[in-house]
Chains A and B, each alone.
Chain A
Amino acid sequence: MRHNFIYLLIVLLVFLFACRNTDIETVTTLAPPVSGQGNIVHSSAEGGEWPFVYSHNIGSTPKDVYFIFTNPTYTTFSSDINVQSNSYYPSNSNEISSDSLNVNDGNIETSDHPINAIPDYISEFNNHPPPLIYKDDDLGTMQLNLEEVLPPQLAVVGDPEVFNESIDNDTVNSKCRATRDLSSDISLNIWVADADFTGGSCGADCMTTSMAEAFLDKFLWDGTSDIYGWVTNMIGGPWGSHSYNNLIPATSKNTIDILFYDIPAIAGGTIIGYFHAKDNYLVGSEPTSNQRLIFYMDSVLAATASGGDGWHISDDYPALVLSTLSHEFQHMIHFYQKPVLRASGASSQDWLNEMSSLMSEDLMSSKLEVNGPRGVTHSDFSAGSSGNGDGRLPGYIYYNDESAVIWDAFYSYSVNYALGAYLLRNFGGANFLKHLVQSPFTNTGAIDYALSQMGYDFNFSDILQRWGVSVLLSDQLDTSQYYRYNTGVSFDTNMGTTTYQIGSINMYNYTIFGQTGPKTVSISDLPDLNYHKAASNVLVKAGTQLTGTKEWTIKMGRDIKLSVVLK
Chain B
Amino acid sequence: MRNAKIILINIFIILLLNVGSLQAQNNTDTTSDEMSGAQLPEDHSELEKGKSKYLFSLEVPLWYDFKTADDGKRFKQGDVTYGVLASLQINDMGGIGFEYFEVPIANNNSVTNLEKDKIVFTMMDLIYLVKIPNPFNLAVGVGYGKSEVSGSNENRFKQGDCYQWFLRGGINLNAIIQIHLGYHDVTSKIPFKNNAEYGIEAGGTMFSGGISVAF
Contact = CB atoms under 8 A, between A and B. Distances in A.
A20 B187 contact: yes
B117 A555 contact: no
B107 interface: yes
Contact of A32 (B17, B112, B194): B194
B14 A26 contact: no
A26 B110 contact: no
Contacts of A82: 109
Given A20-B163, A49-B107, A25 B6 contact: no
Contact of B6 (A17, A26, A32, A53): A17
A28 B153 contact: no
Interface string A17-48: 11111011111111111100000000000001
Contact of A21 (B14, B92, B165, B189): B189
Interface string B154-169: 0011001101110000
Interface string A110-154: 000000000000000000000000000000000000000000000
A29 B2 CA distance: 25
B170 interface: no
B174 interface: no
A50 B140 CA distance: 38
B121 interface: no
Interface stretch (A8-16, A354-362, A373-381): A8-16
Given A25-B198, A28-B69, A28-B74, A13 B115 contact: no
B68 to A, nearest CB: 9
Nearest to A19: B163
Contacts of A267: none
A411 to B, nearest CB: 27
A30 B200 contact: yes
Given A14-B6, A50-B107, A28 B14 contact: no
A227 to B, nearest CB: 51
Given A2-B24, A28-B73, A30-B153, A10 B115 contact: no
B117 A25 contact: no
A109 B22 CA distance: 95
B128 interface: yes
Contacts of A26: 69-71, 189, 198-201
Contact of B128 (A9, A53, A555): A9
A17 B163 contact: yes
A32 B195 contact: yes
A13 B10 contact: yes
B171 to A, nearest CB: 24
Contacts of A53: 71
B9 interface: yes
Interface residues of A, number: 38
Summarize B's interface: helix, strand, loop or mixed.
mixed
B94 interface: yes
B126 interface: yes
Interface string B3-23: 000100110011001000100
Contacts of B38: none
Given A6-B128, A13-B9, A30 B149 contact: yes
Nearest to B196: A24
B192 interface: yes
Contacts of B75: 28
**Most B-side CB within 10 Å, residue of A6, A23, A26, A31:** A26
Interface in B74-105: 74-75, 92-94, 105
Interface string A515-548: 0000000000000000000000000000000000
Contact of B142 (A12, A28, A29, A78): A12
B2 to A, nearest CB: 8
Nearest to B130: A6
Contact of B17 (A6, A16, A27, A30): A6
Given A9-B140, A28-B69, A32-B194, A2 B93 contact: yes
Contact of B197 (A5, A10, A24, A50): A24
A12 B115 contact: no
B152 interface: yes
Given A10-B10, A16-B163, A21-B189, A3 B21 contact: yes
B92 A1 contact: yes
B191 interface: yes
B201 A5 contact: no
Nearest to A35: B195
A52 to B, nearest CB: 10
Contacts of B107: 30, 49-50
Contact of A25 (B9, B142, B160, B199): B199
Given A13-B10, A13-B165, A50-B109, A28 B92 contact: no
B144 interface: yes
A32 B198 contact: yes
B111 interface: yes
Nearest to B2: A17
A5 B197 CA distance: 37
Nearest to A28: B73
Contact of B115 (A5, A16, A24, A49): A49
Contacts of A318: none
A306 to B, nearest CB: 53
Contacts of A16: 142, 144, 163-165, 187
A33 B144 CA distance: 28
B126 A9 contact: yes
A10 B14 contact: yes
A555 B92 CA distance: 55
5 A-B pairs closest in CB distance: A32-B192, A26-B201, A26-B69, A28-B73, A16-B163
Interface of B: 2, 6, 9-10, 13-14, 17, 21, 24, 69-71, 73-75, 92-94, 105, 107, 109-115, 117, 126, 128, 140-142, 144, 149, 152-153, 156-157, 160-161, 163-165, 187, 189, 191-201
Given A9-B94, A49-B114, 15 more contacts: A1-B93, A2-B21, A3-B21, A8-B126, A9-B126, A13-B9, A13-B142, A16-B164, A16-B187, A20-B163, A24-B191, A27-B199, A50-B107, A50-B109, A51-B109
9 contacts: A1-B93, A10-B10, A13-B9, A16-B187, A26-B69, A26-B71, A32-B156, A49-B115, A82-B109
Interface of A: 1-3, 5-6, 8-10, 12-14, 16-21, 23-34, 48-51, 53, 78, 80, 82, 555
